Chains A and B, each alone.
Chain A
Amino acid sequence: MCGFGGYFGTVRDGKGLLDRMTAAIAHRGPDEQGIFTTDKAGLGHARLAIVGLGDGQQPMSDATGDLTVAFNGEIFNYVELRERLRAKGRRFRTGSDTEVILHLYEEMGEDCVSALNGDFAFALWDGRRRRMVLARDRMGVRPLFYLRQGEQLYFASEVKALLQVPGVVAELDPIALDQIFTLWAPIAPRTAFRGICELEPASLMIVEEGRVSTRPYWSLDYPDADAPPRHRDERAVAEELRALLGDATRIRMRADVPVGAYLSGGLDSSIASALAAGMAPGRLKTFSVTFDSAEHDESGYQREMAQALGTEHHAVACGEGDIAAVFPDVVRFTEQPVLRTAPAPLYKLSALVRDAGLKVVLTGEGADEVFAGYDIFKEAKVRRFCARQAGSRIRPHLFRRLYPYLPGLRQQSAEYLASFFGAGGSQLDDPLFSHRSRLDGTAAAKLFFSGDLRTTLSGYDAAEELIARLPPAFRRWHPLHQAQYLEARFLLPGYILSSQGDRMAMAHGIEGRFPFLDHRLVEFAAGIPPGMKLKGLVEKHILREASKDLLPPVIGRRPKQPYRAPDSRCFVGAGRAGYVADMLDEGEIAAGGLFNPKAVAKLHEKCRRQPASGFRDNAAFVGILSTQLWLATFTGAGASRARAA
């Protein structure tokens, strides 16, 4: 796990630029830095040494010096690949996974990515063909951004490295802001930065003289809804799933440093921790966040699981004031506005891991996408159920069961519940049916956009763009698979794995590993019949079946508790961070030009007066505050005030 930056083309003082780029992302790789330049290309690398501690320096060249790679992430099946390559007569000079990429590329060209099982982004300079190959892992665990400027192409693991390129000025992309205020994240390749793109997950980019081409090398696919089921025997499915998950975990325990695990107290991280505890050479270290507020805190379950596994458990408390205190740093690392504070506790958690002396943790992320764990999947099912009998006074009560933790829903009548969730039958053929309530609820926060921004965005519809990006087969899939695709293809890489994942972990030089996102497991799970994943209203049924011997019953039977953190109230209590008032000051909002200053002032006042605000007000408050922080951090607007904070 590391970070890299580089360029293709003729660049004046390329070495100086690479120095600045790697310095900007030094947090990703505090152990070593390296630089490679030729007349036509340059690579810079900041290394977090995990595999091949003594001989894995990067950028790494092959024996001929023709191929050079800068690589961020891990190739988990590098042991098997190396054996296969050795059997073909290839000789290795190091014990690192990086060298495997070089040999594999020599064997297969850029198609080598299809043989890799890992979380990776890399840039490979092929001196013979005078071309640069950029690649990113299937699910989008590791980031890769790029920027074209005339004949040159620049790329890096984080945008802040690209901001070192002469002539590049950070500017917020209004379309990206609209997408964030609808979908929670920009639709790749768009990023929050105008003119700076992201290489999409599972994609290759080839950069040659006068030509740049991009293509996917893998795609998430589901069977047609009317196709005969691939699996019928639930027990056999559970056994195969368990075997795959075990192997996915086993190869993710490979490291020349100790591997720990995040333990939230929920099903997924408990399974990952249980499997890891059985494979770790010593006593596994586990790490958790605890909250002051009972509605967010899961420490009882965390302790229960840690005791059951006998792990060395570490926890960090995260109060509302802590979230406010770290939020400016959080935005500096997410590099995009966010509508939730949920990344902030994860920022504190990765600091806890670093302070405990570890560099690598397993997490349970991805299980909700792969095995249908999110409430939104159940919500869509209930909405379809209600739509079949429009006007039913009984069916909408099921919504209350889905969200027992939302106080606003407990007291609502069946009629209101049906209205809130748009349970009428008219939109059943909407490709975004499963997510429409969430998208509409989120987009309501655009109420605060300024008149100028509304004019700029006039005629643009983020949901329509999302629909345009769906593959042709989408409409033939089962509704649950459609909903899973929307989560796994867009929200997972755009927000969960980036703003809550890579960016929060790497802020403190911590590598997260995700057994549930092993592509073999993802492909297998896609073929599991929907009813085995979401059985009635029991989420992740087949995963529970496959892992019931691993967990205490109280954890194994636990219903999903979404990971949430306190939102606007973190920023409005007495004595809270002074930067908030500065960032939301009417003059500052007016200077930013994105939001209506008077409306924001009223929202701020409402949140102060009434800290238990609803979803829209919370999302709007956090979204506006993070956008203002983004402007201050990356464009210098209000920078003096941000620094004073």
Chain B
Amino acid sequence: MTDAIQEAVEAFIIENFLFGDTTQAIAGMDSLIENGIVDSTGVLELVAFIEDRYGIAVADADIVPANLDSVARITAFIASRSAALAAA
């Protein structure tokens, strides 16, 4: 499941922020902000993607780099919230 989430997140970032460019560093823990891939508007686009695609409600308190500033962190965040949703 985590692999599928990671693939979907990478595909979203490549399509929406990199416009198809696959040469940029987005693997694992690479920072999306420090690499100039996501700006303040981009974070909101990312949140909308997570909510729309996975049905997760992202609270303001969740919108922090610790959850969203790399593919690995986003994947872990979605996996954890999805598991919580499934268990509820």
Contact = CB atoms under 8 A, between A and B. Distances in A.
Given A413-B64, A415-B65, A420-B33, A408 B19 contact: no
A440 B36 contact: yes
A610 B48 CA distance: 12
B41 A596 contact: no
A603 B21 CA distance: 12
A419 B16 CA distance: 21
Contact of A413 (B33, B34, B63): B63
A603 B19 contact: yes
Contact of B19 (A409, A415, A599): A599
A416 interface: yes
A408 B39 contact: yes
A310 to B, nearest CB: 43
A416 B40 contact: yes
Contact of B36 (A415, A441, A603): A441
Contact of A444 (B36, B43, B65): B36
Interface string A429-465: 0000000000011011001100000000000000000
A168 interface: no
B26 to A, nearest CB: 12
Contacts of A600: 19
A63 to B, nearest CB: 62
Contacts of B60: 411, 413
A420 B40 contact: yes
A329 B64 CA distance: 44
A411 B19 contact: no
A303 interface: no
Nearest to B15: A602
B69 interface: yes
Q: Give the contact-size bracket for chain A.
A: 20 to 34
Contacts of B31: 419
A616 B40 CA distance: 10
B18 interface: yes
Given A415-B66, A602-B15, A614 B39 contact: yes
Interface string A380-393: 00000000000000
Contacts of A596: 19-21
Contact of A415 (B40, B44, B64): B64
B64 A409 contact: no
A598 B19 CA distance: 8
A412 interface: yes
Contacts of A603: 19
B32 to A, nearest CB: 10
B40 A412 contact: yes
Interface of A: 406, 408-409, 411-413, 415-416, 419-420, 440-441, 443-444, 447-448, 596, 598-600, 602-603, 606, 610, 612-617
Given A599-B19, A602-B15, 7 more contacts: A412-B63, A413-B64, A416-B64, A441-B39, A599-B20, A613-B41, A614-B41
